[in-house]
Amino acid sequence: MIKINNIKLSIQKKLNRRQRTLVITIVAAIVLTSILVGGLLISDQRIATNFEQKNLSPSIEHPFGTDWLGRDMFVRTIKGLTLSIGVGTLSAVISAGIALTLGLLSATMGKWMDRFITWLVDLFLSVPHLITLILISFVLGGGMKGVIVGVSLTHWPSLTRIIRAEVMQIRSAEYVQISRKLGRTRKWVAIHHILPHLIPQFFVGLMLLFPHAILHEAAITFLGFGLSPHKPAIGIILSESMRYLSTGMWWLAFFPGIFLIMIIRGFDILGENLRLLVDPHNAHN
């Protein structure tokens, strides 16, 4: 035990905080990428119905067991996570794009635009994400389109506030003031002076949006307002497994739920570590 602690202390001395953060970020990225690539490479035939192997508990052949239709739960879980990551990625990119646009407009297009966007942010933040998401998804008829649009339109307000505050700070810089006095337009200043400084915050905010997008996609799918029941989504898997938990088939919900938490935590770690890496005051120790 003492020897292990000495090894840990030796590693910590050799690696500063920035280096440790970089290592953790790379490990998290590799794990998430492996799951995504694995889900894309696995054939849909691997989750075909096979009544001869239904209701099997976890084993070497089927690590996560099988369900009531004989489908391999490990393959279904990986495919479901891949689908959730894909939906979450697209939704987070759209939402982050909305936040970047509104944040720039709020801080560069005058007081009336700033007041309107601030009011819009407060309006969306005053209503719980899940309720707004369900309403949007329901109006659009659910499915992939409803989920993506719903998640995209409910996750931009917090990032918009951060970007707005950053722009307000940048536009008061001396070189920006000089550009304005030299006759540069607001659009030119925003593109050439402000936007380049927002790229790190944009990507960090994008990474931090991923876990929320994935979790909310799984939540509304679990409630029946999201993806189609024919797709191997994690929300569908968890929803279907609720009917069989009382019969002792615990593995139907346990493994997909644990892996969903791991994926969300992985993206959370990735986002937080990227934030540390781009912040010079916190990255070094």
256/10 Cα distance (integer angstroms): 37
Structural fold of domain 72-283? MetI-like fold (1.10.3720)
129/154 Cα distance (integer angstroms): 6
Q: What is the pLDDT of residues 122-131, one digit of tens each?
A: 888 888 878 8
Mean pLDDT for all residues in the chain: 79
Q: What is the pLDDT of residues 3-55, one digit of tens each?
A: 444 444 444 445 556 666 677 777 777 877 777 787 777 777 777 777 788 88
Mean pLDDT of 189-215: 80
Instruction: Find the helix packing angle between 251-278 and 73-108, rounded to 10°.
Output: 30
Domain locations along the chain: 72-283
156/215 Cα distance (integer angstroms): 15
For residues 234 and 84, is the Cβ–Cβ distance under 8 A?
A: yes
Residue 108, pLDDT above cutoff 70: yes
Mean pLDDT of 92-119: 84
Any long-range contacts for 3-11 (C-beta under 8 Å, 24+ apart)? none
Distances (CA, A) of 70 to 48, 49, 175: 8, 6, 66
- Report pLDDT for 101: 87
88/266 Cα distance (integer angstroms): 14
Q: How far is CA 224 from the centre of its chain?
A: 21
- The CA angle 71-74-78, to the nearest 5 degrees, is 110
The residue assigned the tokens 């489908």 is 71
Residue 117, pLDDT above cutoff 50: yes
Decide: helix, strand or coil at residue 258: helix
More confident residue, 232 or 150: 150
Mean pLDDT of 169-174: 78
Q: Which residues pair with 72 in a beta bridge?
A: 66
- Report pLDDT for 280: 52
- Report pLDDT for 17: 60
Decide: helix, strand or coil at residue 207: helix
Lowest mean pLDDT of 71-75, 101-105, 187-191, 242-246, name the range.
187-191
Q: What is the pLDDT of residues 232-269, one digit of tens each?
A: 788 888 888 888 888 888 888 888 888 888 888 877 77
Mean pLDDT of 87-106: 86
- For 120-157, give the secondary structure using H, E and C: HHHHHHCCCHHHHHHHHHHHCCCHHHHHHHHHHCCCCH
Mean pLDDT of 50-76: 84
178/175 Cα distance (integer angstroms): 5
267/285 Cα distance (integer angstroms): 24
